[in-house]
Structure 1
Amino acid sequence: MKPRIHQVLFDFDGVLAHYRHEVRIAHLAAHAGCEHEQVRTTLFVSGLEAEYDSGAIDTATYLRRLGEGLGATIDEDAWIASRIAASTALDDVLARIAALHADVTMGVLTNNGALMAQAIPRIVAPLAARIEGRVLTSGGMQRRKPAPSTFAHALDLLGWDAASTLFVDDLFTNVQGAREAGLHAETVTDGRSLGKALKRYVFGPQTGW
C-alpha cells in the first residue's frame, strides 16, 4: 500500500527554481558599481555567505559587512532583488505541485540565509499561498541539512508528523538525512522526476494526486 502523505516539504534551489550564481554576482556588482570579482570575494571567498547561511550572523550584520566590502549600501530590497534576478522558477515542477490535493500542506526547507524566507514566495509566486508562513532557512534555524536533527527541528516548528511528510530535494545526501529523521524523502531534479516520485504516494484524504 502506498504511504499517505499530508505534508510536503520542498528544497528550493534545484527543485523549485534554477539558481544562476553569476547572475546574482553581476546584479550586485551593477548595484554597487564595482567589479564582479569584488562581489565574489566579499561574499564567498571571505566566508561571509557561509556565516549567514549557517545563522552565525544576523541579517543586519550580514548586509552591513556586504556593503562595506562592496563600498555601497546593500539593503534588504537590493539583496532580494539580486536573488530574484538569479532565480528562475521551474514551471513544470510548479505545475505538478499545483495538481496535488488542496488539503496537502506545503513548506520549504533550504540551506540559505534568513532573507530567503522573503525572496522565495516572490520567486515561486504561483506557490506562494500554499507555503505562506512555512519557508524555513538554515540561517533562521541555525541548523543545516542534511543533519537529521535539522529535519526534526523543522517538523517541530511546522507542527508536522514525520510519518505523513514527504521531503523532496535534488541532493541525495539531504534525502538520506530526511529518511534518517523518519520522513519519506525523494531525490528530484525536474518535473519529470517529481512526477515519478509523487506516484509512489497517496496525497490528502483521497487516493491519487
Structure 2
Amino acid sequence: MKPRIHQVLFDFDGVLAHYRHEVRIAHLAAHAGCASERVREVLFLSGLETEYDSGAIDTAAYLGRLGEGLGAVVDEDAWLASRMAGSTAIDGVLERIAALHPALSLGVLTNNGVLMTHAIPRIVAPMASRIEGRVLTSGGLQMRKPAPATFTRALDVLGWEAGSTLFVDDKFTNVQGARDAGLHAETVTDARSFGKALKRYVFGPQTGW
C-alpha cells in the first residue's frame, strides 16, 4: 500500500532550480567592479558564506563584510540580483508540482542563508503562492541538513507530521537524514526522477499521481 502524503518539503538548488556558481560570482564582480577571483575569496574561501548559511552571523553583518571585502556596497537588492542571475528554475519539475493536488501543502528546506527566503519565491515564481511562509533555511534554523534534528525542527516550525511528509533532495546524504527523522524521502535530480518518485505515493485526499 502506498504511503499517503499530505505535505512535500523540497530542497532548492538541484531540485527546484539549477544553480550556476560562476554566474553568481561574475554578477557580483560586475556590481563591485572587481575581479571574480576577489569575490570568490571574500565570499567563499574566507568562510563568510558558510558562516551565514549556518546562522552564525545575521544578514547585516554578512552584507557588511561582503561589501567591505569587495570595496563596494552590497545591499539586499544587489545580493538578490546576483543569486537570481545564477539560478534558473527547472521548468519540468515545476510543471509536475503544479499538477499535484491543490490541498497538498508545500515547503522548502535549504542549506542557505536567510536572504534566500526572498530569492526563492522569485526564482520559482509559478509555485510562489504555494510555498508562501514555508521557505526555511539553515541560516534561519541555525541547523543544517543532513542532521535529522534539522528536519525535526523544520517540521515543528511548519506544524507538519513526519509520517505524512515527503522530502526530496538531490543529495542522498540529506535524503538519509530525513528518513532518520521519520520522513519519507527520495533522491530527485530532474523532472524524470521526480515523476518516478511521485508514483510511489498517494497525495492528499485523493490520488494525485
Tell me the TM-score normalized by structure 1.
Answer: 0.99
Whichever residue aligns with residue 160 of structure 2, its letter is W
Whichever residue aligns with residue 11 of structure 1, its letter is D
The 3-state SS of whatever aligns with 1:107 is strand
The 3-state SS of whatever aligns with 1:18 is strand
Aligned equivalent of 1:39: 39
Identity within the alignment, %: 81
Where does 1:22-101 land on structure 2 (aligned, <5 Å)?
22-101=22-101
Where does 1:155-166 land on structure 2 (aligned, <5 Å)?
155-166=155-166
Following superposition, the deviation at residue 88 of structure 1 comes to: 0.3
1:190 aligns with 2:190: yes
Whichever residue aligns with residue 172 of structure 2, its letter is F
> For the residues of structure 1 that align with 2:208 and 2:165, how far apart are their CA atoms?
16
Whichever residue aligns with residue 140 of structure 1, its letter is G
> For the residues of structure 2 that align with 1:158 and 1:96, how far apart are their CA atoms?
23
Following superposition, the deviation at residue 208 of structure 1 comes to: 3.4
The 3-state SS of whatever aligns with 1:108 is strand
Whichever residue aligns with residue 200 of structure 1, its letter is R
Whichever residue aligns with residue 179 of structure 2, its letter is R
The 3-state SS of whatever aligns with 1:182 is coil
> For the residues of structure 1 that align with 2:173 and 2:97, how far apart are their CA atoms?
23
> For the residues of structure 2 that align with 1:145 and 1:24, how far apart are their CA atoms?
23
Whichever residue aligns with residue 73 of structure 2, its letter is T
> For the residues of structure 1 that align with 2:23 and 2:29, how far apart are their CA atoms?
10
The 3-state SS of whatever aligns with 2:78 is helix
Where does 1:69-148 land on structure 2 (aligned, <5 Å)?
69-148=69-148
Aligned equivalent of 2:169: 169
Aligned equivalent of 1:179: 179
> For the residues of structure 2 that align with 1:107 and 1:143, how far apart are their CA atoms?
17
Whichever residue aligns with residue 2 of structure 2, its letter is K
Following superposition, the deviation at residue 207 of structure 1 comes to: 1.9
Following superposition, the deviation at residue 29 of structure 1 comes to: 0.3
Where does 1:9-24 land on structure 2 (aligned, <5 Å)?
9-24=9-24
Q: Moved runs in structure 1, 4+ residues, more than 4 A?
A: none
Aligned equivalent of 1:199: 199
> For the residues of structure 2 that align with 1:136 and 1:206, how far apart are their CA atoms?
27
Per-residue deviation, residues 115-145 of structure 1 (Å, max 9, x unmatched): 0000000000001000000000000110000
Equivalent residues, number: 209
Whichever residue aligns with residue 39 of structure 1, its letter is V
Whichever residue aligns with residue 6 of structure 1, its letter is H
